[in-house]
Structure 1
Amino acid sequence: MMLSPDQADSDHPSAQSDPESLASDLKVGCMSDLEAGESRGRVTHPQQLSREEKRRRRRATAKYRSAHATRERIRVEAFNVAFAELRKLLPTLPPDKKLSKIEILRLAICYISYLNHVLDV
């Protein structure tokens, strides 16, 4: 059954009250839903978070941690490759002697110093 705008259907809630009271009922209903959501901790306001807090939350995700671990693995691998290449350039006895990273750096410093001395003579 179709009603004209002048007719009121007694079953329809908006027909029983004026528009202002209907709007206030809707606001009250929305506010109670909002308050209930806040009490459950589901409503967040990201614009109120500090930059540091946003960064912490983003870094706490599994996707971010996985990507970071991958980047770190690649960085460490490149670092180790660079040390291996430097190690190949340094003369030691025996040539295949295992050296720590600090030993490689100290030996490189001494070798560069030696080469400078040879060039100066």
Structure 2
Amino acid sequence: MLLRYTALVAVVVVASGCVQERVVHERRVVERAAPVEYTEVVAPQPPPVRVIEVEPMHRPGYVWSRAYWHWDGRQYVAVHGHWEPLRPGYHYVHPFWEPRGDGWHLHAGGWAS
């Protein structure tokens, strides 16, 4: 038990110094069609096609925000999904990547009317 705890602490200490958020290009965007404000991240290459996680079964009163790939400036990093409480009068826009002339753009998702 002590060996497991020590190994876990060592992994956390080593990994905590390795995280660095570097984005190739980031800007705030507000869509006029829907009041969803999001941060757009531009990556030079498409995200991986492999599935990050399996979407869980329906949960009343919530919507599952799907997992997606985030560009950290050097590589794609998995961002796991999570439950969002339903908002009456709104629909949830899931995160997605879109190719454009200057690279791949991440639309992080959110609530839209």
Between Structure 1 and Structure 2, whose CA radius of gyration is higher? 1
More strand by share: 2
Q: Which has the higher contact order (CA 8 A, sep 6+)?
A: 2
TM-score w.r.t. the length of structure 1 is 0.24
Structure showing the higher helix proportion among its residues: 1
* Alignment TM-score, normalising by the size of structure 2: 0.25
